[in-house]
Amino acid sequence: MNVTALSEIERARFNMVEQQIRPWDVLDVQVLQALFEVRRERFVPAPMQGLAFSDVELPLILNSVDTRETMLTPKVEARLAQELQLKPTDCVLEIGTGSGYQAALLARLAQQVTSIEVDSRLAAFAVSNLQRNQVENVTVETGDAHSGWGTTEYDAILLTGSVPTVPDALKYQLAIGGRLVAVVGQAPVMTACRITRTSAASFETTSLFDTVIKPLRGTTVTHFKF
């Protein structure tokens, strides 16, 4: 890639951050740095790469097959990452891997990310993207995790699809002090919320912002680990 093309990409990335993401109250320095370091265009399906920095949801079309899933808009991805309030020592559970870009962002902010994807085609696409971009602290697994995943407790949990309500099983996978961020409700009314586990049996919910995103898929498939 020549210098001119490279500079155009970096200008587009800068504009994405300054014109879309900062105005959406994403001001955390570590999150903003991650947005520059994780190359979003490298996680976008080839036919969509020209729109990698656009303020639109991008369809995840793999080898001409529409998975019926999308990448969230950059500003929503960034805001969700910020609202998890991640620390470098945190272990994170992400439900809904998609292209792997959100997991890569979280991996820059946390110690380890376990990401669960119900669609094996998307899981394979995400693994390829993560490996190609040398993201080594993300484990992708395939299965249905909308009602929990294993017995491990996590410092943070992110749902990348909306849910009518947050299942109790997911809340109880938070460590004490852990945060879960999810978009809750049904179209056209949905609210991003952060649920913090304050004690063994107590949770505190904070409403964050209104948005509408696709529902989290809850179809059970065979589980395997890459």
Residue 46's Cβ-side half-sphere holds a number of Cα atoms within 13 Å equal to: 5
CA angle, corner 82, sides to 195 and 210, nearest 5? Answer: 65
Question: Given pLDDT bands bounded at 50, 70 and 90, which one contains residue 7?
Answer: confident
Convert the pLDDT of each residue in 122-163 to its tens digit: 999 999 999 999 999 999 999 999 889 999 999 999 999 999
What is the crossing angle of helices 101-109 and 120-132, to 10°? 50
What global pTM score does this model have? Answer: 0.93
3-225: CATH topology is Rossmann fold (3.40.50)
Note whether 55 and 75 are within 8 A (CB).
Answer: yes
In the structure, what pLDDT confidence band is assigned to residue 217 with cuts at 50, 70 and 90? confident
Q: Write out pLDDT tens, residues 17-26.
A: 999 999 999 9
Q: Are 173 and 187 in contact (CB under 8 A)?
A: no
Domain borders along the chain are 3-225
**Cis upstream peptide for 188 (omega within 30°):** yes
